[in-house]
Amino acid sequence: MTTRIKLLGKPAILDGEGRSQAVRGHQAWALLARLVLARQPLDRRTLAAELFGESVDPLGALRWCLAALRKALDSSDCLVGDPVELRLPAGTEVDLWLLEQDRLDLAEAGPLLAGVEPQCSPEFSTWLLVERTQLAAQIDDRLRRETLRALALQDSDTAIRLAELAVKRDVFNESAQVLLVKSLALAGRAEAALDHVEQTERLFAEELGIPPSPALRSAARRGPAAPPPGISAASHVRSLIRAGTAALVAGAMDSGIENLRLAVAEAEKARDLHLLSAAMLELGKGLVHAVRGFDDEGAVLLRQCTEIARPKGYAKIAACGFMELGYVEALAGRRPAAEQYLALALEQADEAEDLAQIHAVSAFNLVDWGRVEQGLEHYASALEAARRAGSRRSEIWSLGLGARGHLVAGRPEEAEAWLRLCLALIDEYQWVSFRPWPVALLGEARLLRDAVPSGLRPPLEDAYALSCQLRDPCWEAAVARSLALTYAAEGELATTTRWLDEAYRRCVRETDPYVALQVEILASRVEAHRRLGQGEVAATLAREWIALAARAHMDAHIQRASALLAGGGAA
């Protein structure tokens, strides 16, 4: 039997017979977690300052805690030296390491050091907040990924069990609630799915004061329909797909989604796997792009689509399905999952237009991940493929999103060049609904190039009005943030904060926001309140900023927010 160290949930050290070994005090557990999670050995002075700074003898307190941990581990050879090396006894099992290897039973995975709140330095408090957030996100992401896979394989029992675990971890996580309802519905437990919808709606109303989005109730449905007499089932499905996609392009969202739902139901009844995977792909794309708040139901369909298409050799359908899954995960800040899906998409793709879209989404994910130069390389590949395919929409998308990569890289001149070309193509090809995004970024780029702030506002105000007409929360938030930056440049901080508050409110209006934009808005809000001398407000927002950036794998933002909290730098 091996020694087991549990740090997820209530911490414990269990000997070979499963008996818990005594470890006194929150500081000792905090120290053990710090050492287990450290990327390299930490020196004693650093550890003493982080955890025992208020002690009369910090180094002595550190020695006492290390000795207590060695006793609990029944080993005199571990946790020794300066820097301190783990050197745990051979065969020691650490739940954090099992999680990293995807070997941990997720039912046993609670919060890092649950119930432990050590008296420590601000630096350690920030470290603990980041680690707790990132580990929780890793567990949540794995639950989501495995639930989607179980649904795609029609393993309803596993899907329900995993979705229930996710809901238990956070009952107000609407994404988890949607996946549980969908799991129940696809298991044929329609009444249980509707009962859970009603319970969740009551819970949200009572505790949050707002109902869940329509996506929750929609997840409970399965909509069969009979084909018109006299035509084949395959013809009926193809006509429904054409009608549904045409309606979405024309902006008739309800009609388009309903036709695509019927297409999926009819293809399933006809047992035509090619048509079923094609219908699932179009419905999944429609739910992700055309209907706000339905990303989770869309992801279920996209995962089912890829599970059918890949083994059957429907390469184009599989490539598009994996690409769309990558986009959903990237938008939500689940970057490792996005990277995995996009790698699978590249394996299946061979057409230039598909390659353009996959490279563009890969770039989108990488830039927000902080791997900016690598992301810009993918944007260059996306543009080359889009132009080879003659796909102007893909070219416009890559130019508009790629310009943000140049801004993050500190190259506003290149960003402005990309944005002006993007806007020229938008005008030429009349893709009006995309226009607010490049206008917002162009305002920011020109501001960085010392343009007169007031002169930037008229086009931004026009773009804001358009985004409100389109009812696109991402565009609304992006333009509102750029307007705020123009006022910040003139020192009009009260107006700045009003626009930033509005930007944040609009960004999170739906349940599937663009998380990287949400992080950027939080960063701007912290800076504005700091400049106003509102230190407590800035610190509160900075902690929210850190937590969200940690969940979205945005390390540069974590460093900026941590520096502000520690008093070591500005946001």
Q: Are residues 62 and 143 in the same domain?
A: no
**pLDDT tens by residue, 41-91:** 999 999 999 999 888 999 999 999 999 999 999 999 999 999 999 999 998
Partnered with residue 80 across adjacent β-strands are 85
CA dist., res. 480 & res. 236, Å (int)? 45
Kindly give the residue spans of alpha helices, DSSP state H, lying in 122-226: 122-152, 156-169, 174-186, 190-207, 214-218
Counting Cα atoms < 13 Å in the Cβ hemisphere of 43 gives: 2
Q: What is the band of 305 on the pLDDT scale with cuts at 50, 70, 90?
A: very high
Nearest 5°: the CA angle 109, 115, 121 is: 110
State whether 113 and 189 are in the same domain. no
Question: Interhelix angle for 436-448 vs 473-489, to 10°?
Answer: 20
Where does a domain end: 120, 143, 158?
120
Nearest to residue 360, comparing CAs of 394, 328, 337? 394
CA distances from 164 to 35, 187, 447, 509, 550 (A): 32, 14, 48, 25, 24
Going by pLDDT thresholds of 50, 70 and 90, the confidence category of residue 570 is very low
Q: Is residue 32 part of a domain?
A: yes
Position 43: which residue type? D
CA 497 to CA 488: how far, in whole Å? 9
Spatial CA neighbour of 152 closest among 181, 108, 183, 191: 183
Mean pLDDT value across residues 245-266: 89
Per-residue pLDDT for 255 more than 90?
no
What are the beta bridge partners of residue 20? 14
Over range 317-327, report the average pLDDT: 98
pLDDT in tens, 57-71: 999 999 999 999 999
| Same domain, residue pair 67 and 152 | no
Q: Are 219 and 301 in contact (CB under 8 A)?
A: no
Question: What is the per-residue pLDDT across 128-156, written as a single tens digit (0 to 9) for each?
Answer: 999 999 999 999 999 999 999 999 999 99
pLDDT digits (tens, 9 = 90+) for 210-247: 899 889 998 887 544 445 556 688 888 999 999 999 99
Is 420 domain-assigned? Answer: no
Nearest to 538 by CA among 556, 555, 560, 518: 560
Answer yes or no: is 530 within a domain: no
When divided into structural domains, the chain yields a total of: 2
Note whether 163 and 96 are same-domain residues.
no
CB neighbours (10 Å) of residue 231?
10
Please give the structure tokens belonging to residue 288.
């992700």
| In-domain check, residue 110 | yes
Is residue 43 situated within a structural domain?
Answer: yes
C-alpha pair distances (Å), 314 with each of 27, 143, 271, 305, 400: 56, 27, 16, 10, 31
318 class by beta-carbon count within 10 Å (0-12 exposed, 13-18 middle, 19+ buried): buried
Alpha-carbon distance of 66 to 85, in angstroms, equals: 11
Q: In this structure, are 86 and 142 located in the same domain?
A: no
- SS3 at position 87: coil
Do 23 and 72 belong together in one domain?
Answer: yes
Same structural domain, 31 and 109? yes
Across the range 502-525, mean pLDDT stands at 94
Q: From CA 190, how far away is CA 298, in angstroms rounded?
A: 19
Q: What is the pLDDT of residue 227?
A: 52
Q: Domain for residue 223, yes or no?
A: no
**Residue 22 sits in the same domain as residue 107:** yes
| Residue 471: Cβ within 10 Å count | 11
Mean per-residue pLDDT, 471-490: 96
pTM of the model: 0.91
CATH number for 31: 1.10.10
Where does a domain end: 218, 250, 274? 218
Round to whole Å and give the CA distance between 204 and 213. Answer: 10
Predicted confidence at residue 249, as pLDDT, reads 84
When mean pLDDT is compared across 12-21, 408-417, 493-502, the lowest value belongs to 12-21
Domain coverage including residue 206: 135-218
Task: List residues bridging with 8 in a β-sheet.
Answer: 112
Q: How far apart are CA 480 and CA 494, in angstroms?
A: 14
Judge if the upstream peptide bond of residue 458 is cis by omega within 30 degrees of 0: no
The pair of three-digit structure tokens given for residue 262, joined into one six-digit string: 């019927």
Do 110 and 33 belong to one domain? Answer: yes
Residue 47 DSSP code: H
Confidence of residue 347 (pLDDT cuts 50, 70, 90): very high
Could you give the CA distance from residue 514 to residue 75 in angstroms, rounded to a whole number?
48
158 and 80 both lie in a single domain: no
Structure tokens that stand for 196 in this block: 């859970």
Which residue from 186, 164, 155, 152 is spatially nearest to 106, judged by alpha carbons? Answer: 164
96 and 149 assigned to the same domain: no
How much is the mean pLDDT over the chain? Answer: 93
Do 10 and 113 belong together in one domain? yes
> 189, 218, 247: which is the final residue of a domain?
218
Quickly list DSSP for 386-410: HHHHT-HHHHHHHHHHHHHHHHHTT
CATH of the domain at 182: 1.25.40.10
Q: How far apart are CA 420 and CA 399, in angstroms?
A: 9
Identify whether 16 is part of a domain. Answer: yes
Q: Check residue 511 and give its pLDDT.
A: 82
In a domain, 70, yes or no: yes
- Range list of β-strands (E), 30-95: 93-94
